């Protein structure tokens, strides 16, 4: 196996971890295991009746729900495997340091460690929204860095020969807007605000309902010992949902313009068409989420397509780099 094959395999696994993490969160299984790194003191999760009884005595505040516990533990094990793969890439790159840089694999090792800490805090701080959103964004950062690493080790992905249609600054701006929108989506999910607004495009029959943006943007305030199912009031949740919708409009308009620019160049046309297809799918998934009360498969796909959009933008950023950029 070549280094690039391991890198792309890690990208695929990272995407699975991000999507599975969304599935765990959206199926209310984030506290399926109230301890860390095990589950009710088990390496896997309690399944036998006597194990469940003992676990309930150990954690009387949260009875065992096997259908939630297994989701959480599978997610942890996959994340652990990904961590080992990243460590292997660092060791491999370090041994070949006379040929290629090992800086990015080293950075990825630290990102993985911090992600593990965020995963622990997600459980120990009982789904605090700020930690939950940070855990999501850490996963997206990990996926982005792995994508860049894989691109840098793939000889066929060469720099774009500038023809004046697409400047790197255009891609950077699109990437910044997308990251901000993903963060808003994570904040919406972490505060259980996805269904705060019924109907689309209006919110509960109003174009601008009464909202509390101060509480909506309060990321540090402690409300209680447990943040499961959200603790912010209705006006704050509506504000969070409306910010996500406004971000959707901004990102859609900018990406439509960027896609137009991309499709004017034959070399970047495939990436432009990929962005267009993913953007259309994401818009439809977002509308379905609101109009059909957040179906779990659709909501999970919404997170997955966001990750694919991010990966595509990272590839585009790599394509528009200068020849000297590592």
Cβ contact 199:205 at 8 Å? yes
**Rounded CA gap, 180 and 217, in Å?**
14
Asked if 72 is an active-site residue, the reply is yes
Of residues 48, 65, 72, 228, which has the active-site annotation?
72
**Rounded CA gap, 220 and 60, in Å?**
28
Q: How buried is 158 (Cβ within 10 angstroms: 0-12 exposed, 13-18 middle, 19+ buried)?
A: exposed
CA gyration radius, the chain: 21
CA proximity to 229, closest of 19, 27, 22: 27
Q: How buried is 237 (Cβ within 10 angstroms: 0-12 exposed, 13-18 middle, 19+ buried)?
A: buried
Question: Hey, which residues are catalytic here?
Answer: 72
């Amino acid at each position: 196996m070549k280094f690039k094959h391991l890198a792309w395999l890690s990208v695929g696994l990272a995407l699975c971890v991000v999507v599975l993490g969304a599935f765990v969160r959206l199926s209310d299984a984030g506290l399926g295991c109230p301890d860390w790194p095990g589950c009710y003191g088990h390496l896997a999760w309690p399944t036998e009746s006597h194990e469940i009884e003992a676990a309930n005595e150990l954690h009387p505040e949260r009875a065992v729900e096997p259908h939630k516990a297994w989701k959480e533990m599978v997610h942890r094990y996959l994340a652990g495997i990904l961590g080992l793969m990243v460590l292997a890439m660092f060791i491999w790159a370090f041994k070949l340091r006379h040929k290629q840089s090992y800086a990015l694999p080293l950075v990825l090792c630290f990102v993985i460690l911090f992600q593990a800490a965020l995963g622990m805090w997600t459980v120990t701080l009982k789904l605090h929204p700020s930690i939950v959103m940070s855990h999501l964004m850490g996963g997206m950062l990990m996926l982005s860095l792995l994508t860049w690493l894989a691109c840098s080790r793939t000889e066929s992905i060469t720099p774009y020969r500038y023809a004046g249609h697409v400047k790197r600054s255009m891609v950077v701006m699109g990437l910044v807007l997308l990251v901000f929108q993903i963060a808003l989506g994570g904040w919406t999910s972490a505060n259980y605000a996805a269904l705060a607004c019924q109907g689309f495009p209006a919110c509960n029959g109003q174009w601008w309902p009464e909202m509390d943006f101060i509480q909506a943007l309060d990321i540090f305030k402690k409300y209680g010992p447990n943040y499961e199912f959200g603790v912010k009031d209705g006006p704050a949740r509506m504000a969070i949902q409306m910010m996500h919708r406004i971000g959707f409009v901004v990102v859609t308009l900018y990406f439509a313009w960027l896609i137009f620019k991309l499709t004017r160049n034959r070399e970047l046309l495939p990436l432009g068409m990929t962005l267009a297809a993913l953007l259309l799918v994401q818009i439809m998934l977002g509308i379905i989420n609101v109009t059909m009360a957040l179906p779990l498969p659709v909501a999970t796909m919404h997170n997955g397509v966001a990750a694919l959009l991010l990966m595509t933008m990272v590839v585009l950023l790599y394509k528009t780099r200068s020849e000297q950029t590592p």
